[in-house]
Amino acid sequence: MPQASGKTNKWVVFTLVTIAQFMVVLDTAITNVALPSIKRSLDFQTDSTLQWVVTAYALAFGGFLLFGGRAADLFGRRRVLLIGMTCFTVFSFLIGISQTTVELIALRALQGLAAAFMSPSALSIVLATFNEGKERNQALGYWTMVATGGASVGLLLGGVLTQYLGWRWNFFINVPIGVLIAIGIYMFVPPHEKEEKGQGLDLPGAALVTTGLITLVFAISEAPTWGWLSLATLGTAAAALLLLAGFIYNESRALHPLMPLSIFKIRNVAGANLMMAPLYASMLGMFFLSTLYIQTVLHYSPVLTGLSFLPFPVMLGVASALVPSFVSRWGYRPFLIIGPAMVALALLWLSRVPIEGSYVSDLLPTFLIMPLGVGLTFMPIIAAATSGVPANEAGLASGLITTSQQMGGSLGLAILSGIATSASAAAGSSALQTLIHAYDDGFLAAVVFPLLALFVAVTVIRQRSVTVVETVVL
């Protein structure tokens, strides 16, 4: 079997595992533009139910991400990556032929579970392939571009596939790519023996945190139907909190915990994770509600919808390119304050979209300002999340921030779609006015998330001297 020993082979290995990572990131966002088509095709009754197409994937991905990383260390990186890719490809095909809402949502959760084994395995292969220094930094720079840009590419690609081939091709496209990349990984990526011996997997921890969050999201998404203060809503929420309390108890007692609680004694680690969750929630919520508004109210085609989001990755790229030098000069704390404030301003602008809306005046300002705020915040959050962390816990800190991102996004999206659904039920106006009222309320509620992140930045985060920052995104 070819070994990744020379420079050419190293970059072949990097290309293969990066495409695998691109598939994972892409499937977080590619369905957004297809949501109206999926809703019509499978007869989703409400937007609150529809959000599970996105949430089920993100919850399973985030809930088992650290578990997948431990599995790679214990059973071998290439082996776990290939198992994850095989399952991801099979589930993608099954999603494409699914016929009911239950089938689609369940398979999306299984696809997210497979992604949780792919992503950390792929990253650990990159870290093992490149030695520390300029070459690894270059590889990680490309990796970060893929991780941050994949979601934006997904919006455009999803629009093209949905309009010209149908929404099912958002998933069918993974099948040939997955097969080819799996073969390439088997041929060119060296096998890796397990990193650690005599240590187990914290399966109870992964199960408790994931089922707890799924139960909580279910309570929130059904609350508009059950009633926010109904016995069913409160009982389901209480069950979710018990499961999450069980997770914390398990982590405090487990011999090899999935998430050692001691890491949160580091002030900036705790603060950065508390910031990432609501910030990603606001971004995921914005994409979800904006996509529905653009296609349902403005009547844009799926392709035009994808193109309408194009300013977002452009501005995000500009901010992401500039902020490392700014952080090296002024530290990360100022940007953790400025960035969330810009995100809040952008969402506040969206909260007034009218029935006779205009893309240029009502949407474009947000698609220019919000990515600047996100770009100014994202890298400094990674810097804060890894500052003061011992070298042997750096990987854990990087994994935690990505887990907070996925979990926060899932929970936030459920809250916003639930609020929008409640608002539409209470509007009592024409169908279009009801939709506008629902979207405006959802966008206004989303403003709370970046303001919460801003509060954490001011009260929790403490500045450290930053000269060189390496960001690792799972």
Q: How far, in Å, CA of 447 to CA of 410, rounded?
A: 16
Burial of 413: CB neighbours in 10 Å, binned 0-12, 13-18, 19+: buried
Q: Tell the residue number behind the tokens 């696809």, with chain if given.
A: 111
Q: How far, in Å, CA of 301 to CA of 308, rounded?
A: 10
Give the Å distances, CA to CA, from 388 to 26, 184, 263, 448.
Answer: 32, 39, 10, 29
What is the value of pTM for the model shown? Answer: 0.79
| pLDDT tens, N- to C-terminus, the chain (474 residues) | 444 444 448 888 888 988 988 888 888 778 878 888 998 899 887 777 888 888 888 888 888 887 887 788 778 888 999 999 999 999 999 999 999 999 999 999 999 999 989 988 887 787 778 775 567 656 766 776 676 667 667 778 888 888 899 999 999 999 999 999 999 999 888 886 655 555 667 888 888 888 888 888 888 878 877 888 899 999 999 999 999 999 999 988 888 787 778 878 888 888 988 998 999 889 888 888 888 889 888 889 888 988 898 888 788 878 877 877 787 788 778 889 999 999 999 999 998 888 888 899 999 999 999 989 988 888 788 777 766 666 556 556 667 877 888 788 888 888 888 887 776 655 555 677 777 888 888 899 999 999 999 999 999 888 755 444 444 444
Domain ranges of the chain: 1-200, 202-255, 263-474
Nearest-CA neighbor of 343 among 384, 416, 286?
Answer: 286
CB 129 within 8 A of CB 5: no
Q: Tell the residue number behind the tokens 């909190």, with chain if given.
A: 241
Helix (H, G, I), strand (E, B) or coil at 51: coil
Nearest-CA neighbor of 419 among 458, 385, 447, 456?
Answer: 447
1-200 and 263-474: identical CATH topology: yes
Which CATH superfamily hosts domain 1-200?
MFS general substrate transporter like domains (1.20.1250.20)
- Domain at 263-474: CATH code: 1.20.1250.20
CB 191 within 8 A of CB 1: yes
Q: How far, in Å, CA of 347 to CA of 370, rounded?
A: 8
CB 340 within 8 A of CB 377: yes
Beta-carbon-side half-sphere exposure of residue 395 (alpha carbons within 13 Å)? 16
Write the DSSP symbol of residue 34. Answer: T
